[in-house]
Structures are given as C-alpha cells and as structure tokens.
Structure 1
Amino acid sequence: MGTRGPGVQPAPARRARMGEEEEGRRAWAGESQGEQGQPAISNPLGLTRLGSLPANAGGDDGASIFIESYKSVDERQTNYNVIPGKKGQCVYQGITMFEQAVWSPKPCVTCLCSGGEVLCDEVTCPPHRCHFPYTPSGECCPVCMDTASRGDVLDFSGDSLVANDPDSVTPDLDPILDPVVTRTKAEIELLNREEEQRLLEKEKRRKKQEEAERQRRRQEEKRRRQEEKRRQEEERLQMEKEERRQEEARRLKEELAMKERERKLEEERRRHEEELKEKLRELAELEEEEEEEEEEEEEMEWLLRGDVFQMFPDEPTEEDHLPPPLAKPTDREEEDEKEGVVHRPGITLPLGCDISDVTVTCENAKLTNFPPLNIPELKSLSLEGNSITTIPVGAFNGIPNLESINLGKNKLTTAGIAPHTFKGLKFLSRLYLDNNLLEKVLPDFPSTLQELKINENHLKGIEENSFQGLSDLLTLELEGNLLSEGNVDPLAFRPLSQLSYLRLGRNHFRTIPQGLPPSLLEVYLENNLIEEISDSVFNQTTNLNVISLRHNRLEESRIAPLAWINHKNLESIDLSYNRLYLVPSYLPRALVHLVLVGNQIERIPGFVFAHMEPGIEYLYLSHNKLDGEGVEPQSFLGTYTSMTELCLDHNQLITVPPGINQMSTLHFLRLNNNNIRTFAEDAFCDPENDQDANILTLRLENNYIDPRKISSCAFSCVRSYSSIVLKPQWTK
C-alpha cells in the first residue's frame, strides 16, 4: 500500500465542518466508484496487507492498534477507500474521522476508520543487496541507486541529501553517494575518493593481469620459437647426416664402379696381350715345325743318296758374310712410294706416319683425308696437325680396338663427320677434337669415354642430350668456344655422373653455368665475363676442391655470403685479374690456397681469415694497391700458425705489415717492388720466439731501404742471409 505524508492526505477537520448530508453524498460517491472498478489509491511500493488486529476505539489520546506489516511486493493496490463511509466515526488525536477515512499519521504507517475503530498498518521494508540504498522523499522504504535513477532525483542542498519530485528524474547519479537524507558533503566526498581509489586499484589489478598475460604469451612465443628452432636444427642435422650417408654410399659406389671398370679394362688388356702372345706363340711354333720339317727332309736326302761319310761344307768366304741382294721393288710398290705410302711387314702407312708397338702417329703429315688403316691390335692413333676435313663411314673398321684418338688441329666440321662414327669403338676412353671447326657437340659418343676435349672450336650451344650416355666421363674441356648461360641447357651436365674435371674458359659466360654435376672436383672458368656469384650456384657441387675464375669482372660485393663459405672440401680459389677492391669476406672455411693477383685491392679487412680452419697457407696479393693503411693489425689473424707463402710484392706498402712476425710457419715472403723505407727491428722476427729460423726466402728488392740502417737482429728468423734479396734499391 502506498503511503503519503500528512501534507498530502485528506484533511479531517474540513470534513468535520461539512454537513452529514454532504459527507454522506461523498461517501456514497466513493463507494460507487469502488464498486464500478475505478482505480483506488495506488501503492508505490507494491506492498500487500497480510492481516490486522482489532484496535480500540479512537480515544482522545489517539492511541491505535497496529496490524501486521506488509511483507510481499506483488500486490499493486490497497483495499481501503479514501472516501468516508455513511456511518461510524473515529476520533484520532482529537480529530474526528469519518467512516472509511484513510490517513498516514507518520511515514510507513497508514490508518483506517472502520466501524468507529482506528486500524493502522505499518510497512516492513524488504532487504536490499546494494551498497548505497537511500529513502526517496515521500516513501517509507529505501531503494537502490539504480531504482532511484528510474524514479527519483537527489537534491544536494545544504549539507543533506534530499529526494526531489520523481517527475524531474535525472538518470545518471553518482553511484558512490549514499542517498540517505542525513549524509553530509564531506562524507560524500570521502566516498567519492574511496570509490576512485577502488577503481584505480581495480584498474591497476587489471593492467597487472594484462601485463602478466602478455608476459606469459611472450614466454610461450619464445618457447615456441626455441622449440621450432630446435626442431629445425634437428631436421638440418638429420638431413646433413643423411646427405653424408648418401654421399659416402655414392662415393663407395663410385669407387666400386671405378675399380670394376679398371678390373674390366685390365682383364681386357690382359686378354688382348694373351691373344697376341698366343698368336706369336703359334707363329713361333709354325716356324719351329717348318724348321724341323726342313731338317728331316735334309736327313732323308742324305739317307737316300747312300753316302757313307757326310761331306761338310767348305769354310765361309767373304762373300758369304755379305747381306743378300735386295729384291727389286715391284711396280705397285714404286707407285705407292710416289703416292707417299710407307710399307712395313704386313702394314701399309701413309708417308710421314710412324708406328711403334700399338701406336700410330701421323702428326703434321699434311694429310687431307682420313687414312685407311687395317691394324686390329692398334691402341692409339694421333692425326694432329693435318688438314683432314671429313671422317667417312667405316673409317675405324680396321682399327676397332682403339683406346685413344687425337684429331686436334684439323679442319673437321660437324657435318663432315659421319653419324655414329665413334659409336663402334668399344674401348675408346680418350678423344681429342681441339682446334677444329665444330659447331655442335657430336652425338653418339661411346659410353666408355673418360676424357673428351673440344677446345678452340665454334660450339654455339650444348643441348640437354649432348652428353647422353657418358656416365663414365671424368674430364671435359670446352674452352675457347661461343658458349654462354643462354645457350647451355641447365640439364646438359646431368648425365655426367662421374665428371670431376671441367674447363669452360674463354667463352662468354656472365654467370656461373647452372646444373654443374655434384661429382665435380675442379672447375675452370677463366677469361669469361662473369660478374656475379649467387648463393645457390654451387649448392650441389659440395665436393669442389678447386675453382678458377681468373680474368673475369667480379667485385667483392657481387659474391654472395653463402656462395661457398660452408664448402668443406674447397681448398683453392683463383680470383686473379678481376675488379676486387677488398679481400673478399665469407671465404671457404677450409681454404688453403688463395690467388688475388692483379686486382685493385686497397685493404685487407680485419678478421677476414679468422674463421678458417686449419688456416690459409698460400696467399698471393701481388700487383694490387695496398698502401700504408691497407693492412690492419687483425688482417692476418687466423694465419699465424698456417701461413707458408705470402706474396705482397708490387704494391704501395711503406712499411712491413703488422702480424708477419707472428707467422711461425712462414717460409717464403715477397715484399719487393713497394715503397718501403724503414721497418721495425721486430717486423719480421719475434724477439720473444726462440724457435728455429723458419723463413727460407725473403725478397725486399726495389724499395727505398738503406741497408746500413737495418738492425743486425732484424733477420734473426731467416735461415740464411744468402736467401735475403736486398739489391737493388730505389733512390730519389
């Protein structure tokens, strides 16, 4: 049931002055409204009256009996009428109340005049679960802040908090303010500060939790990266192990195959020798049989003559010692001699040719055609230095057992060589076609070929199948042609599974050709136009031992860091006559021999050799531009226990570079043709090192050194003074 203050309830005094008829009319009208379903006085709190106790008649003292308080919040209306009834009056505190009159003597108490008795209800407020409840003006129970925001507005006037009219509700009230009407501003400010402090602490806790979460995520990410790195490292090690295993298996397989080939060749050679010996033995046996038959015939003649005494021949005269007269040459032999044909017992050779054992040599014999030969046991044939233009079909039918053919310095063309010319030579292992006019690699080489040279020709390209079937080839030379990375197929070298020696110099390559076989040990690319070495070009050739790149266009910045630093077998690199200004970094760890002659090197960076194991032994830096500032104190770090030969001649050095006196294994040192004038007493020899002298040769000529100013201890580590070259010296 709703409650109202004394200022808003019906005034009983005014009702007392009214006439009974007027009051009866009002009561009747009120009852009529209740019976017709008009809304009664609303209960703002929605409380329900549970029951009542009878009260004494209202006396002068105004005492009243209170019924049970309201407990539930479900009912929205009261069952009392505010219109007085027709009969019965009540006196409350000296005031006459009509029948069914309702009034509120104090907050949360509602009274009713019923049958001359005053019945009063007291509202019991429900419990709240909010921190700061408050009692709005005109209400008897406190409400929560969110409830207040929907129906009441707090009015801060003076030092107390008062609820204003619900019609002027402000929805956003400070939730930390206690809505009790007696709360002061100081308390409100204190509550504000406490609430702010609580919010700050809550924000700090939230930030701390977020930071802890970020830290946890960072740790998790770090752990994940470490785990990934460890996994990748394990995979890499496993791959390296597998590669080493495969490489070892391949090497063993190659060795076994090589031994098997050598065994077969040796067996074939022995078989041929045995066949030749067998033929010679058969010839000897035939000769012996013929001699025996002749002797038997002579004995039979003596017996048939019947002579008793055998007559011995007379003593030989001078005529008997003379050689028998030569038979006159036949007409055929005279014609052959005019045509330049040389006759040997059972063999006919052109003029200018010679035969020795199983080798025929016709070098510079002015031959224009391939000579017809019929020597089955022939092993080697050299026709170098002639003018042969063609090789006809069947040219080798009479010499099928050839193992080596030299056709260099002729005028052979690709079209002039009959197809499958060399295919029938089952034992051919070496073929030299240098200095001819070939434009294309010949097809159908025999599979037994181990060495092929086509230098100084007009080759314009190499196709994918140019070397098909040459799985036994060990050496290939293609220098002095018209080859480039544009006309060499990347798969051209794939069939050469045993190739170990490759020469591609004097061509037109701008980059290292792709597809080099993994078995390669030495590669020579001198006199090309190479400008760059990428980090993947030598990835497959992990067995490389020697790389020669003399006379190209390389700069140190165009050599990729990973081009060859991890090659475990690469011991020799020649970069002479390129465009280097610095000693290149990232050199192979296993490097032993480095040639940098004829560049424009001005500086040896510090620690450039420090990563090498066991260390570089031969370093050639002649004919460069090293000066007084070009060598740093750490330039030779890593070479002190390995350097054997160091050439720094023909530079612009003004003194002996630092670090040389620490090279305990140095044998040969060249500093001639520089601008050296003076050097320290310990420039060559470390005075604290009492080991035996190690330098065998020291060259200092063509500098500006005054021999009279050299300390007597300067060359204590040189084995012999006779090995020191000091003269001549330049003078200004």
Structure 2
Amino acid sequence: MYRVLVTCLCLWAAVTLTEAKPPRRKGGQQPKHGKDARDEPEYNDTPFLPERTGQCLVNGISLFEGAVWSPEPCNVCQCRAGAVSCRAVPCPRAAVQNDHQSGGQRAKKLPPHSENTVEAPPKKKEKEKSRPAGKSKKPNGKAATDSLPQREETAVTPVRVVEKPVAPPKRKPEASLRTAVAGGSLPMAWALEDDGDDDDDDSSMMRPAGRLADLPTGRPVPIPTGRPVVPLTRRPGALPSRRPVALPTGRPVVRFNGRSTVPHAQRNSYMESLPAGCLLSDSLIACGSTGMGHLPIIKDTGVRTLYLADNKISKIPARALAGLPNLEWLDLSKNKLDDFSFSPGLFQNLTRLRRLNLDGNNLTKVPALPSSLMELKINDNKLMGLTPNTFKGLFKLLTLELEDNHFHDGNVSPLTFRPLRKLIYLRLDDNKFRAVPSGLPTSLQELHLSDNRIEVVQAGVLNKTINLRVLNLSHNKLREDRIAPRAWIHLSKLDTLDLSHNKLVHVPSFLPVALRQLTLHHNHIERIPGYVFAHMRPGLDSLHLSYNRLREDGVGEVSFLGLYNSLTELLLDHNRLGSVPRGILQLKALQQLRLNNNFISYVPLNAICDTRVTEDSPLMSVHLENNLIDRRLIPPTAFSCIKSYHSVVLRPQNYEDIYE
C-alpha cells in the first residue's frame, strides 16, 4: 500500500511540473520570480533522457533511472545514475487565456497553482491613439482589446485586425464604363477603398489605386475568429480598403473623386428612376445604351458629366436639367430627339456647360443653346439650314461639327459664322456644298469640307481665314482650272492641304507658300508642271501622288525644283511610269521613295544614287516591287548610297518567272 501511494505521488509531481512549466519569453528567455530565482540558472525544459541504467532508493522505495518527483512546492528531484539530484525551480504562473466561445470577451484567470499569481491587466477606459487597430468585433457590436504579453521596454506595434470581405459579384457595368465615357477624362484603373465607417451606404467611392505597402515578415497572430491576421503597415496617406455598395434596386454604385454634395435621401430619389446599368459617381451619371426612354428630373449640384448616348429618349422635360447647375458635359447622341424634344428654356440654367453632343438625332434646326458652350457636335442629323441667328451668343465656341446634314450653298447664310469669333475647328463634311462657304471666321485654323460636291474654289472666299493651318477638300469634284489662281496663295500659315479623290489632271499652281504636306492621291494627274513648287519656302516635306496617271514624260528635270532640300517623302506608286523619274537624284533630304506598281523595266546608273558622291544617302526605304525589272541587269552600284540592303524592296516583279 505504501509503495502505491509513493508511485501516485511521483506521477502527480511529474504532471504538475509539466503543467506549471512557464511560457517562453521573446528570445527564448524564461520568466524569473523572487530573489532566489534570479540566482538560480534557467530551468531546461528538454525532457530527461536516461543516460545509463540505475535505481535510487527514496524513503524505502526504489525508483528507476530518470524518475522525477517534487517533495515540496518549488522544488524538484530526479534520479540520475543511482543518485538523487534536487534543485529549486520557478513557481508556475496562473495561465491566462481568452474565452473564444464567448465571442472575444476579456481574458479570465485560471485557478493558480501557487501564491505567485500574475493578474490580468485591467481594462482601459479610453482607446490609445497609438493603437487604433487593435480591436476585434463582438457579436453584440462591442469591441475587446486583445492582450498579449509584452516586455515593458518593447514598443507596441499597432496591429490592424482585418475581416476578410466577401467578394462582390462580378458586374458587367464596370466593363462598359470605358466605352460609356470614352470621350471623357475618367481614368481606367480604380481601387475599391473604405473610409472605415461601419455602415455600408452609398457614400462609397472609387479612388485611384496606389502601391500597396510591403507586409512585414513574421508569424500570423491568431484572433478569436480563428483566422490568422498578419500585421499590416501602411505608408502615410494610404487609404483603407472599400467595398462596392449596391443600391436597393440591385444596381451597383461606382463612386469617384470625393463625396456627394447632396443628402443621400435626395440622391436616392432620382437614382430610383434610373434604369439598370447606369454608372454613378459624385461627378458622373453614365446611362449609355440602357434603353432609357425618358430623362427623369435630376437634382444634384455635384454632377458635371451626364452621358445618355445610344438610348430612346424623344422628349426632355422643361425642368429635367434645372437641378444640374454645374453640368459641364452633356452627351445626348444617338437618341430620337427632334425639334419638339427641347423646351425653350431647357439649357437656360446650364451656365457652365462646355461640351454638348447631339449627334445621330432627327433635328432639322439648331436649338437654343447656352453661351458657355466651347464644343458643339450636331453630326448626322437633318439640319436644313443655318441663319445669322443660329449661333447667336456662342462667342466662346471653339469646335463646331455639322457633318452629314442637308446643307448646300442656298441654305447657309454668309453671316452664319459671324458670332463665332473664337472658332478654331469647323467640320462640314458629307453635305451638298458645290463651293467653299463664304463668311468663315478669321480665327479658324482647321476646315474640313470632304465628301461634298465642290467644283470650284472662288477667289477671295478664303481671304479672311488668314490663320488657317489645315484644309481638307478631299472627295469632291475639283479640277485645277476651277481653282482661282490666287484662291489660297495668301494663306501664309497653311501647312496641310488635302485634294485627294478629286478630278485634277495636273498638280495645281499657286499653292500656299508655307505648305508642308500636299496630298493628291486618287486623281487623274498626268503631269507635274515645271517650277510648280519653286516659290515655296522652305518647301514641301511630303508629296503624295499615288494612284494617278503619271508617265515618265510627265515628270521633268525641274518638276521638283524648290523641294531639293526639304522633301523627305515622295509617293509615286500605282502610276504609269516606265522608268525612274528624272529629278529624284537632286532630292538630298529624301528618306522614303515609293515607285512600286508601275511599269519600270530598268534602273540605270545614277538614277537613285549618285556614284560620284561618297556620302551616304538619307534614303531609308525604296520600293520598286511589282514592276518589270530584271534584277540581274541592275548595275552593282545602282543602290550603293543606301546604307542597308534591306531598305531596297525589289521582289516580287511581274515578270520574275523569266529569270527565276
């Protein structure tokens, strides 16, 4: 019986010692208590392994080698090599643990094994500013601070407890945002971010994505929810994460650039009437291609862009835009608007409107517009004429597009453009003009009149457009004898002239002196008159004569006079040339030469490269394919001035099978 009691005592001592083993400190150090504990060496918690066989006799009981027992508190003995070895050990602490089942309640004390018990730290009344993120949510909404053992001299690192958000469902409208506002200034990449509020409302916004801060290394910190949390560090100014918010109707709300300037209740009042698929932000409402049939009354002083393109809107109520005093861009293109769709005072309150797009509707006249406009597009409508009062008051207008309407010489007044004192860009393509309209403003820099029926350019019609830089008269019925001799020679700033797709038989004379790019492809040109470019300063940079009827006798020695030091691009492909044109050798700045798709049969010496000059030519591309050239008969030095052999294209030839 006595032996049984002693054996039980030994087992109880071993179990007690294992449970009372103190937790390790950071760096592997053990806690010490009391003066005696400081003098004693640290207790090694490695399990005892028997080194050699032996037994110890304690109180008449034989103990095996390695047996451990505690004869009294804070003291432990062990049988080693037949001898008893005892030592003092630190008394065990009271274990402190969190009650996970209570949803994150403050840690409770376990029953102590000795008198030296460390109490849990008291609950703080106020949250410290240095630890803003050390909380975890309770089911009842209260927060409890996680207490971890720390050294007094160790700085406390803030730990942000991040609940893993539920991934929102994929939404198609976000992909259509780039298409919906392709003409605007919205960025393409955004990051969802949160301002830290607990409430999920429509105050969410989209912010530009920034670089994520690097995560520190180390082991994850467990929290009561059971998910590991890695301490995060954010660079100064970084924004917290934000989740997208869905309206009660199920539509996503995408927010940009700040907060709304109207109460949520007021904003929700008109959002309920918008169709599904609209994209919203503080400054943007985009409802393109949503099948909208009418425009609801919107009151939001923060909206600056309203995109309603490609819908079925046929009527706009008189007060529909009255609540948008800060609107700057309105797009109503591709709807069903006509002359009766606009109320007289519809745009009266839009004093900041800068851009208006009415393309693709059924308008027969221009509606009354605000004087603040800087860009107006009414392409692809049914406008029947322009009067002196059509653009009255639009003195700030810079861009005007009236392409594809029903304008002709009889329904456009010469006084139409007089109010447009700042107009820079005018597009009148695809109408029915037979002559260049008169009365164009002096400020005009770019004029597009392609796809009309223009047959004549009268003298003096462009006298006032002294600032004109680009003139496009392509796809008309122009002949060189119907262009007045001094129609445009006085345009000292004109650098681009497009006369392609006309009926010209030779290069027109009296070209503007400062012209840099002349486009004449797809005409009936048979000749380049001599000295036709001689008056130009500094001379053409590009001359495009492809798809004409040029023959070798139509290009003389002085045809390119005036372009010797300026011309870098000469395109003569798809003509009827039987040999390399004369005068090309004098073009010292030429970089690209196209002679392909002609009837050239031979490349003589000193036709493209001057063998008498040792300097390399600036030519970087020479095209001679699809001719009648026998490559075996080309002189070895015909292309010696060209740096790269691959710059010369000779294959295929139309009769290449003869020598292949």
Query: Common fold, TM-score beyond 0.5?
Result: yes
Q: Structure 2 regions of 5+ residues with no counterpart?
A: 1-120, 126-133, 142-162, 167-197, 202-244, 256-263
Deviation at 1:342, TM superposition (A): 6.9
- 2:253/2:281 contact within 8 Å kept: no
Of residues 659, 675, 678, the one that matches 2:602 is: 678
Distance 1:517 1:680, change over 3 A: same
Question: For 1:542-578, what per-residue CA distance to the aligned partner results, in whole angstroms no more than 9, with x for missing partners?
Answer: 1111110011011000001010112211111100011
Q: Distance in 2 between matches of 1:315 and 1:623?
A: 77
Question: For 1:207-251, what per-residue CA distance to the aligned partner results, in whole angstroms no more than 9, with x for missing partners?
Answer: xxxxxxxxxxxxxxxxxxxxxxxxxxxxxxxxxxxxxxxxxxxxx
Question: For 1:114-156, what per-residue CA distance to the aligned partner results, in whole angstroms no more than 9, with x for missing partners?
Answer: xxxxxxxxxxxxxxxxxxxxxxxxxxxxxxxxxxxxxxxxxxx
Of residues 282, 292, 314, the one that matches 1:389 is: 314
Residue matched to 2:25: none
Of residues 458, 462, 481, the one that matches 1:534 is: 458
| Higher-Rg member (1/2) | 1
One-letter amino acid matched to 1:600: H
Residue matched to 1:456: 380
Residue matched to 2:557: 633
Cα RMSD of the aligned pairs, angstroms, is 2.9
Counterpart mapping for 1:212-227 below 5 A: none
Is residue 424 from structure 1 mapped to residue 349 from structure 2 by the alignment? yes
Q: Distance in 1 between matches of 2:135 and 2:390?
A: 76
Residue matched to 2:104: none
Distance 1:718 1:420, change over 3 A: farther
- 2:564/2:589 contact within 8 Å kept: yes
Distance 1:431 1:316, change over 3 A: closer
Residue matched to 1:498: 422
- 1:341/1:350 contact within 8 Å kept: no
Counterpart mapping for 1:519-598 below 5 A: 519-598=443-522
One-letter amino acid matched to 1:550: S
Distance 1:415 1:341, change over 3 A: farther
Deviation at 1:334, TM superposition (A): 12
Residue matched to 1:11: none
- 2:397/2:423 contact within 8 Å kept: yes
Distance 1:359 1:717, change over 3 A: farther
Deviation at 1:326, TM superposition (A): 10
Deviation at 1:357, TM superposition (A): 4.8
- Between Structure 1 and Structure 2, how many residues are aligned? 420
Is residue 620 from structure 1 mapped to residue 532 from structure 2 by the alignment? no
Residue matched to 1:687: 611
The SS at the match of 1:370 is: coil
Distance 1:326 1:536, change over 3 A: closer
Deviation at 1:722, TM superposition (A): 1.4
The SS at the match of 1:729 is: coil
Question: For 1:613-669, what per-residue CA distance to the aligned partner results, in whole angstroms no more than 9, with x for missing partners?
Answer: 111111000000011211111111111101011100000101111111111111111
Residue matched to 2:219: none
Of residues 357, 378, 382, the one that matches 2:303 is: 378
Is residue 354 from structure 1 mapped to residue 266 from structure 2 by the alignment? no
Deviation at 1:718, TM superposition (A): 2.2
Question: For 1:435-458, what per-residue CA distance to the aligned partner results, in whole angstroms no more than 9, with x for missing partners?
Answer: 110000112x11111111100000
**4+ long deviations beyond 4 Å:** 308-328, 333-336, 340-347
Residue matched to 2:331: 406
- 2:379/2:404 contact within 8 Å kept: yes
Q: Distance in 2 between matches of 1:728 and 1:613?
A: 39
The SS at the match of 1:350 is: coil
Counterpart mapping for 1:34-433 below 5 A: 310=123, 337=249, 346-347=267-268, 348=271, 349-433=274-358
Deviation at 1:463, TM superposition (A): 0.8
Deviation at 1:310, TM superposition (A): 4.8
- 1:342/1:350 contact within 8 Å kept: no
Q: Distance in 1 between matches of 2:462 and 2:654?
A: 46
- 1:342/1:351 contact within 8 Å kept: no
Q: Distance in 2 between matches of 1:390 and 1:715?
A: 69
Deviation at 1:390, TM superposition (A): 1.4
- 1:681/1:713 contact within 8 Å kept: yes
- 1:336/1:342 contact within 8 Å kept: no
Question: Higher mean Cα deviation, 518-527 or 411-420?
Answer: 411-420
Distance 1:705 1:391, change over 3 A: same
Is residue 434 from structure 1 mapped to residue 434 from structure 2 by the alignment? no
One-letter amino acid matched to 2:383: L
Distance 1:689 1:416, change over 3 A: same
Q: Distance in 1 between matches of 2:373 and 2:567?
A: 41
- 2:426/2:444 contact within 8 Å kept: yes
- 2:444/2:467 contact within 8 Å kept: yes
Q: Distance in 1 between matches of 2:138 and 2:346?
A: 59
One-letter amino acid matched to 2:249: E
Distance 1:633 1:369, change over 3 A: same
Distance 1:658 1:409, change over 3 A: same
Deviation at 1:322, TM superposition (A): 8.1
Q: Distance in 2 between matches of 1:604 and 1:723?
A: 27
Q: Distance in 1 between matches of 2:573 and 2:124?
A: 91
Higher helix share: 1
Deviation at 1:420, TM superposition (A): 2.4
Q: Distance in 1 between matches of 2:124 and 2:651?
A: 90
Q: Distance in 2 between matches of 1:314 and 1:600?
A: 83
Q: Give the TM-score normalised by the residue count of structure 2.
A: 0.60
Residue matched to 1:167: none
Of residues 698, 722, 725, the one that matches 2:646 is: 722
Deviation at 1:311, TM superposition (A): 8.2
- 2:414/2:439 contact within 8 Å kept: yes
Deviation at 1:683, TM superposition (A): 1.0
Question: For 1:365-424, what per-residue CA distance to the aligned partner results, in whole angstroms no more than 9, with x for missing partners?
Answer: 111111332221111111111111111101112221011111111111111111121222
Identity of aligned residues (%): 47
- 2:526/2:551 contact within 8 Å kept: yes
Q: Distance in 1 between matches of 2:374 and 2:137?
A: 60
Residue matched to 1:134: none
Residue matched to 2:227: none
